[in-house]
Amino acid sequence: MCPAPGTATEQDAEEAESRTGRICELIDRVLVQKAMGTYESAVAITLSFFLKMYLQEHRMGVLLGPDGLLRIQPRQVRVPDVSFVSWERLGSRRLADYPILPVAPDLAVQVLSAGNTAAELDRKLREYFAAGVRLVWYIDPQTRMASSYTGVEQCDVIAEDGSLRGEPVLPGFELSLRRLFAEAVGA
């Protein structure tokens, strides 16, 4: 394996896609491949569409997709499926050409797939909030439910007939899960 586990750097994470064709996170100096299935990708891009529409009216920051590398802690690079970084957090109204954005997002979204484990999701959640993330959404396309976290222990479980809400990060943003899943499959 190149680089050997325990020796990977941020530069290795930056170069992983061009070298291997795969996006990788950097976790404890190990490159971890980010996997996403077709349906999960459709859900992530559909959610991104609705968030982008909101952000066109509320110019608050930048939206990143599933290849937006974020340094959430020293030597810890995460790649949420969708993330939002406010201009306030970024420190300017301009997105510089960073290979790895040097801040944690305000909102991190993970669209769950079969390969995600409970331990992995718990670790991500703890790391996100330790880094200053203010809102985390875990969206499960299989159960058509979501979990909205405003803290490690503060979670609202949202059924298919409920809605994702953007408070405290995206005031007034609301999206029905039923609509999200229907739009993702083109129904």
Q: Are 69 and 13 in contact (CB under 8 A)?
A: yes
Domain range for residue 3?
Answer: 1-33
CA distances in angstroms from 138 to 11, 89, 98, 107, 145, listed in the order given: 28, 22, 26, 11, 9
Residues 27 and 43 in one domain: no
Q: Decide if pLDDT at 1 tops 70.
A: no
Q: What would the pLDDT profile of 138-166 be if each residue is shown by its tens digit?
A: 999 999 999 999 999 999 999 999 999 99
Q: What would the pLDDT profile of 23-44 be if each residue is shown by its tens digit?
A: 777 788 787 887 778 999 999 9
Residues 68 and 160 in one domain: yes
Residues 27 and 103 in one domain: no
**Mean pLDDT of the region 132-139:** 98
**Residue 187: what pLDDT?**
64
CA distance 151 to 143: 23
| Phi, psi (deg, nearest 5) at residue 59 | -70, 85
Residues 3 and 44 in one domain: no
CATH of the domain at 120: 3.90.1570.10
Angle of helix 177-184 versus helix 38-57 axis, rounded to 10 = 120
CA distance 127 to 110: 14
